[in-house]
Amino acid sequence: MEIKAIRGFNDILPDEIGKWQFLEITAREVFEGFGFSEIRIPILERTELFSRGIGEATDIVEKEMYTFTDRSGNSLTLRPEATASMARAYLEHQLYTFDPVAKLYCIGPMFRYERPQKGRFRQFYQIDAEVFGVENPMVDAEVIVMLIDFLKRVGLEKLELQINSLGCRDCRPRYREELKKFFAQKAFQLCEDCRRRLDTNPLRIFDCKVETCREAIVDAPKVIHFICSKCKMHFDQVKGYLETAGLSYVLNPKMVRGLDYYTRTAFEVVSYQLGSQNAVTGGGRYDNLFQEIGGLDIPGIGFAIGMERLVSLLPKDKEFIQTPHLFVAILGEKTIKEAYRIINQLHLQGIRAECDYEGKSLKSQMRRADKLKAQYVLILGENELKRGKAVLRNMGNKVQEEIPILDLVNIIKEKARHQE
Ligand code: HAM
């Protein structure tokens, strides 16, 4: 029987890869410009990193992790997100001894056992950026501005930045109690999961998709009305810096984010071009995560962009596909060896050159060049070769010219530079 990929796990095929590479290159460019450095972290971690970091009573930890016991009896988990791993790496390698402030990004696959649907997969890619070691609200704005700059540079439109403040360890408990009281009166309306969450983690009721639960949250108390004066001041300053940067935002008092580590600033970017899975990015501040996983009191803030959702939003008319710069059409047996010498030279000089391996007619070679969207075709005929020449055809404007083979590499490089 034919073996197929696992449900929710996708292949990214060569005709789509241009978009992915474009996003990755742009992210690197933008983030490095904002002072971020790349970090690569393992895909597998000890399970307790996530259960302690993300929170036992979250959907991710309760039911979405790919967890298994390895041959030595250790419980390991495929990372469902990158923030906890990046924090672990920062602690483990004591990056704070070099500089207390670390600005890091990472790009790679995450794994969650969710029900696959449009925009939701079991293996999905995130572009993740984090700042460790700064409590100052200026950095909240910096991170959000970087995110929006990136999204705009890749051509996204119809985006909305939503922000909220989730309070801190001092003010959250009072809010939790209020929520419990409120939902206890509505318990009859809540699904079985949410009735359980009432005790374990009432904030998570906000994320429930069950219709009756969604009705129950309409009048629920909002965290923003319970935050302490320090959190309020922090949030006001974040908003002030966003305004200084000229960024518009929408306050969303019902946004609580699905992971337990968040404190104070929380944000999402949603796109009205997407369906129900409309969050392109989620992020926020997490001033207690480091304590949960390593006992140090280090603040942090960051975000993760879902790459599949972003890819689906990229402008349709933009050309992302990598095209060979050059197709070499070989005419006649006697030219094959010389053609190979030329193609080899082009490859070694970093020029994308493709050719026909089957000795086909010029017509069919030209058809293939067309299909591969070659920008130029180099026609190598016996007579021209004898004179040290070849014909170069511009596939865009169909103009042909005879060029000296000795200058070929320079000519092609020059043309590629100017994208004639
Ligand atoms: P998250 O909201 O769970 O946050 O995920 C961030 C983004 O990843 C979402 O907005 C979405 O675009 C994408 N995403 C999540 N789950 C899936 C899925 N099953 N299929 C496709 N895309 C998905 C986090 O992961 C936090 N670590 C973000 C963060 C970083 N907060 C602070 N720093």
Least confident span in 14-18, 297-301, 367-371: 14-18
The predicted-structure confidence for 190-248, as pLDDT tens digits, reads as follows 999 899 888 888 998 988 889 999 999 999 999 999 999 999 999 999 999 999 999 99
Nearest CA to ligand 1 atom 15: 306
Question: Average per-residue pLDDT in the chain?
Answer: 93
Give me the domain span that covers residue 246: 14-171+227-313
Domain presence at residue 334: yes
Domain presence at residue 209: no
Whether residues 242 and 389 fall in one domain? no
Averaged pLDDT, 328-332: 94
Averaged pLDDT, 57-74: 95
Query: For the stretch 367-382, what's the b/e string if a residue is b when 16 or more beta carbons lie within 10 angstroms of its beta carbon?
Result: ebbeeeebbbbbbbbe
Q: Helix, strand or coil for residue 307?
A: helix
Whether residues 252 and 389 fall in one domain? no
Q: At 109, which CATH number?
A: 3.30.930.10
Number of domains in the chain: 2
Determine the pLDDT at residue 208: 87
From the CA of 149, how far away is ligand 1's center (Å)? 19
Q: At 384, which CATH number?
A: 3.40.50.800
Domain presence at residue 8: no
Residue 125: strand pairing partners:
109
- pTM given for the model: 0.91
The predicted-structure confidence for 274-291, as pLDDT tens digits, reads as follows 777 688 999 999 998 999
Whether residues 63 and 144 fall in one domain? yes
Q: Which residues line ligand 1 (CB under 6 A)?
A: 81, 83, 112, 114, 119-121, 124, 126, 128, 130, 258-259, 279-284, 302-304, 306, 308-309
Could you give the CA distance from residue 267 to residue 162 in angstroms, rounded to a whole number?
5
The predicted-structure confidence for 22-55, as pLDDT tens digits, reads as follows 999 999 999 999 999 999 999 999 999 999 999 9
| pLDDT-based confidence at residue 413 (cuts at 50, 70, 90) | confident
What tokens were used for 269?
């970017």
Tell me the percentage of the chain whose pLDDT exceeds 90: 77
Could you give the CA distance from residue 177 to residue 57 in angstroms, rounded to a whole number?
16
Domain presence at residue 131: yes
Whether residues 79 and 48 fall in one domain? yes
Nearest CA to ligand 1 atom 16: 120
HSE at residue 352, side-chain half, CA atoms within 13 A, is 12
Domain presence at residue 188: no
Determine the pLDDT at residue 322: 65
From the CA of 132, how far away is ligand 1's center (Å)? 19
The predicted-structure confidence for 94-121, as pLDDT tens digits, reads as follows 999 999 999 999 999 999 999 999 999 9
Q: Which atom of ligand 1 is nearest to the CA of 121?
A: 20
Nearest CA to ligand 1 atom 11: 306
Whether residues 308 and 338 fall in one domain? no
Determine the pLDDT at residue 419: 62
Q: Which atom of ligand 1 is nearest to the CA of 60?
A: 3
Asked if residue 313 lies in contact with residue 274, where contact means CB atoms within 8 angstroms, the answer is yes
Domain presence at residue 220: no
From the CA of 19, how far away is ligand 1's center (Å)? 19
From the CA of 305, how far away is ligand 1's center (Å)? 6
Which residues lie closer than 8 Å to 263 by C-beta, 6 or more apart? 166, 167, 168, 169, 172, 284, 285, 286, 287, 288
From the CA of 306, how far away is ligand 1's center (Å)? 6
Cα 192 to Cα 177, 203, 205, 393: the distances in Å are 20, 15, 11, 69
Whether residues 19 and 61 fall in one domain? yes
Whether residues 162 and 85 fall in one domain? yes
Q: Per-residue pLDDT for 390 more than 70? A: yes
Averaged pLDDT, 137-155: 96
Determine the pLDDT at residue 67: 98
Could you give the CA distance from residue 331 to residue 34 in angstroms, rounded to a whole number?
52
Determine the pLDDT at residue 117: 93
From the CA of 167, how far away is ligand 1's center (Å)? 21
Whether residues 18 and 105 fall in one domain? yes
The predicted-structure confidence for 159-196, as pLDDT tens digits, reads as follows 999 999 999 999 999 999 999 999 999 889 999 989 98
Whether residues 132 and 32 fall in one domain? yes
Whether residues 127 and 244 fall in one domain? yes
Whether residues 164 and 51 fall in one domain? yes
Q: Which atom of ligand 1 is nearest to the CA of 286?
A: 32
Radius of gyration of the chain (CA): 27
Domain presence at residue 291: yes
Nearest CA to ligand 1 atom 2: 282
Domain presence at residue 1: no
Whether residues 150 and 288 fall in one domain? yes
